[in-house]
């Protein structure tokens, strides 16, 4: 039997569609991630104005600097030494309040014992969400636009803060419960510092001017020029080890303290590290000072939710996907069982799933579907009617009233026209015409020949 080429064409078409789908999907993902707005504010993977990718790339371009990005859990971070700085950029106030300092923390151990430097800069929150470079006056009026959108909340900041705290407790109930169960002190308790917000404040359009303080190390004094400050947060209740590096109206906004052999730096703002701030005019001396002169800088992305899962099974355990996994395995098992052929050896046809032992049934399907599959695999679509007609002439026509010569000629013409152009005359239409020809035998009967009259004898 001649195998039809239609299944191969279908398979090729499916492969082309699948390849196109994968290509489009990858292109959409690449475009989505390249814009940068997928990541949170002050993420070093974000390339829009409120990202910090420019800072990471600028430090990496400096000679002698090694810049990396951490996506592992902070409790699994290793390799920090005396020449390393770990920078948590854009830490939200909620995250800062919930951070804990257990004794077995590898970060605190690296700072305390190995002399590493830890930097935490707070997300100021009330900054432009979008900076339009096409507007020439955007550098002056961004705060006016922002204030117009936040005017209602700015009038009563105390009520806003209480509402935000209540929202945080509702949305992060599980996190708070886990933190309450831990015996480890919070970073605020460990470092003796509190992050607060003034009861009432009015931010200047260009931000607050910073007043210089003193640095912990005399060899690294505070730079002469400092960035404008956008954040309304302030540090209070400082322990005796803290040094105020910069302040606003007498309230500390950048502080530094020793912790064992290393140092810890807290800044209540992260806007100075954003792409927008660097575009407007970066304070390079201050950025180099805050890194502490370390040649290796590690930017942490786990505070923005970018954490490596460590494997599929770990993710399944973490998000409790056990039931989903078991359901998938059960579905695959049922599908394989439904599609399997019965184990009935002894006949090649049976082993191939075509016939049972009795020869009158099709394994795994009914007779009609098996016959249709056999026709699809063995008879080309253009020759289906001719094959059926020849089979009928060999079998049924012998038992029933056969076709006349006129009917045979008419049917052959219909079959030839169908095979010449199947799209113009389809199989169903051709079959109906053949049925009409067979139903009207009188219309195709050949006229009887009358015998010639005999000649009269002379």
pLDDT at 255 over 80: yes
139 vs 262 pLDDT, higher one: 262
For residue 181, count other CB atoms closer than 10 A to its CB.
Answer: 7
Q: How much is the average pLDDT of 367-377?
A: 72
Predicted confidence band of residue 248 (pLDDT cuts 50, 70, 90)? very high
37 confidence band (pLDDT: 50, 70, 90): low
Average pLDDT over residues 210-222: 88
What is the per-residue pLDDT across 113-147, written as a single tens digit (0 to 9) for each? Answer: 999 999 999 998 866 544 444 443 443 454 455 45
Which strand (E) or helix (H) includes residue 9?
A: helix 6-35
Task: Give the per-residue pLDDT at 397.
Answer: 59
In this prediction, residue 119 carries a pLDDT of 96
User: 196 and 253 in contact (C-beta within 8 Å)?
Assistant: no
- The pLDDT assigned to 410 comes to 86
Residue 78 CB-density burial (10 A; 0-12 exposed, 13-18 middle, 19+ buried): exposed
Q: Where does 36-102 have alpha helices with state H? A: 53-61, 93-98
More confident residue, 398 or 250: 250
How would residue 172 be classed by pLDDT, with cut points 50, 70 and 90? Answer: very low
- Per-state percent for the chain, helix, strand, coil, to nearest 5: 45, 10, 40
The pLDDT confidence band at residue 300, using thresholds 50, 70 and 90, is: very high
Lowest mean pLDDT among 68-72, 88-92, 216-220: 216-220
CATH number of 28-130+153-308: 3.40.50
With 90 as the cut, is the pLDDT of residue 394 above it? no
- pLDDT higher than 50, residue 63: yes
**Beta-carbon count within 10 A of 267 CB:** 28
Residue 265 banded pLDDT, cuts 50, 70, 90: very high
Residues forming beta bridges with residue 298, ordered by sequence position:
68, 86
Between vectors from CA 427 to CA 424 and to CA 432, what angle results, nearest 5°?
105
- Per-residue pLDDT of 96-117, as tens digits, reads 988 888 888 999 999 999 999 9
pLDDT at 160: 42
- pLDDT greater than 70 at residue 277: yes
Please tell me the predicted confidence (pLDDT) of residue 309. 59
Q: How many CB atoms lie within 10 A of CB 409?
A: 13
Does residue 22 have a pLDDT over 50?
yes
Give me the mean pLDDT over the 323-329 stretch: 81
Mean pLDDT, all residues of the chain: 77
- 401 Rama sector, left if φ>0, alpha if ψ -120 to 50, beta otherwise: beta
Q: Is the pTM of this model over 0.75?
A: no
Closest CA to 56 of 223, 274, 228: 274
Buried b / exposed e over 414-431, threshold 16 CB at 10 Å, is: bbeebbeeeeebeeeebb
CA distances from 95 to 14, 186, 303, 331, 438 (A): 48, 11, 8, 41, 86
Across the range 237-258, mean pLDDT stands at 94
Question: Can you tell me the distance from the alpha carbon of 41 to that of 92, in angstroms, rounded to the nearest whole number?
Answer: 10
| Residue whose structure tokens are 């900076």 | 131
* Tokens of residue 450, six digits: 């009358």
Ordered by start, the domain boundaries in the chain are 28-130+153-308, 383-444
Whole-number pLDDT of residue 198:
80
Task: Say if residues 128 and 50 touch (Cβ distance below 8 Å).
Answer: yes
Q: Higher pLDDT residue, 115 or 445?
A: 115
Q: What percentage of residues in the chain have a pLDDT greater than 90?
A: 28
Residue 57 binned pLDDT confidence (cut-offs 50, 70, 90): very high
Instruction: Find the range with the poorest average confidence among 99-108, 167-176, 355-364.
Output: 167-176
At 407, the pLDDT band (50, 70, 90 cuts) reads confident
Q: Poorest-confidence range of 60-69, 118-127, 136-145, 418-427? A: 136-145
145 phi, psi to nearest 5 deg: -65, -40
Give the span between the Cα atoms of 375 and 43, in whole angstroms. 62
- What's the confidence (pLDDT) of residue 171? 41
pLDDT for res 179: 44
Q: Which of 87-101, 305-319, 376-390, 428-442 has the least mean pLDDT?
A: 305-319
Q: Is the pLDDT of residue 173 over 90?
A: no
CA distance 171 to 233: 22
Residue 82 clears pLDDT 80, i.e. is over it? yes
Average pLDDT over residues 32-49: 74
Compute the average pLDDT of residues 275-294: 90
Of 277, 282, 267, the residue nearest 122 (C-alpha): 267
C-alpha separations of 282 from 226, 247, 277, 285 in Å: 10, 19, 6, 9
Pick from 18-27, 143-152, 208-217: least confident = 143-152
The residue with greater pLDDT, 233 or 424, is 233
CA 90 to chain centre: 23
């Amino acid at each position: 039997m001649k195998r039809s080429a239609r299944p191969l064409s279908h398979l090729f078409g499916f492969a082309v569609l699948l390849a196109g789908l994968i290509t489009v999907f990858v292109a959409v993902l690449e475009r989505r991630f390249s814009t940068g707005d997928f990541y949170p504010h002050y993420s070093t993977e974000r390339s829009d104005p409120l990202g910090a990718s420019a800072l990471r790339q600028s430090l990496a371009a400096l000679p002698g600097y090694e810049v990396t990005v951490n996506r592992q859990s902070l409790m699994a971070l290793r390799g920090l030494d005396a020449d390393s700085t770990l920078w948590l950029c854009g830490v939200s106030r909620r995250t800062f309040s919930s951070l804990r300092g257990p004794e077995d923390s590898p970060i605190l151990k690296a700072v305390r014992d190995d002399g590493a430097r830890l930097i935490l800069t707070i997300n100021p929150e009330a900054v432009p969400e979008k900076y339009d470079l096409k507007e020439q006056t955007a550098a002056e009026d961004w705060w006016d636009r922002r204030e117009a959108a936040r005017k209602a909340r700015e009038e009563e900041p105390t009520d806003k803060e209480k509402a935000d705290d209540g929202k945080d407790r509702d949305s992060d109930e599980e996190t708070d419960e886990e933190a309450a169960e831990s015996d480890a002190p919070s970073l605020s308790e460990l470092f003796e510092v509190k992050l607060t917000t003034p009861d009432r404040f009015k931010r200047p359009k260009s931000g607050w001017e910073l007043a210089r303080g003193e640095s912990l190390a005399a060899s690294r004094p505070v730079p002469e020029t400092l960035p404008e400050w956008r954040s309304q947060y302030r540090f209070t209740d400082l322990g005796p080890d803290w040094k105020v590096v910069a302040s606003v109206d007498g309230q500390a906004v950048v502080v530094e303290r020793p912790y064992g052999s290393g140092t810890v730096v807290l800044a209540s703002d992260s806007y100075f590290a954003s792409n927008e701030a660097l575009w407007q005019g970066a304070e390079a001396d201050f950025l180099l000072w805050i890194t502490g002169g370390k040649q290796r800088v590690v930017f942490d992305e786990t505070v923005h939710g970018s954490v490596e899962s460590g494997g599929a099974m770990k993710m399944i355990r973490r998000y409790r996907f056990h039931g989903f996994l078991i359901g998938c395995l059960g579905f695959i098992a049922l599908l394989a069982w439904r599609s399997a052929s019965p184990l009935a050896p002894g006949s090649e046809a049976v082993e191939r799933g075509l016939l049972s032992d009795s020869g009158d049934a099709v394994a795994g399907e009914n007779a009609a579907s098996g016959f249709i599959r056999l026709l699809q695999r063995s008879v080309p679509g253009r020759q289906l009617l001719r094959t059926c007609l020849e089979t009928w002439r060999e079998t049924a026509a012998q038992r029933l009233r056969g076709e006349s010569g006129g009917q045979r000629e008419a049917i052959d013409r219909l079959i030839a026209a169908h095979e010449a152009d199947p799209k113009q005359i389809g199989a169903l239409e051709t079959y109906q015409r053949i049925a009409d020809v067979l139903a009207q035998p009188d219309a195709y009967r050949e006229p009887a020949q009358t015998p010639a009259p005999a000649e009269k004898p002379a």
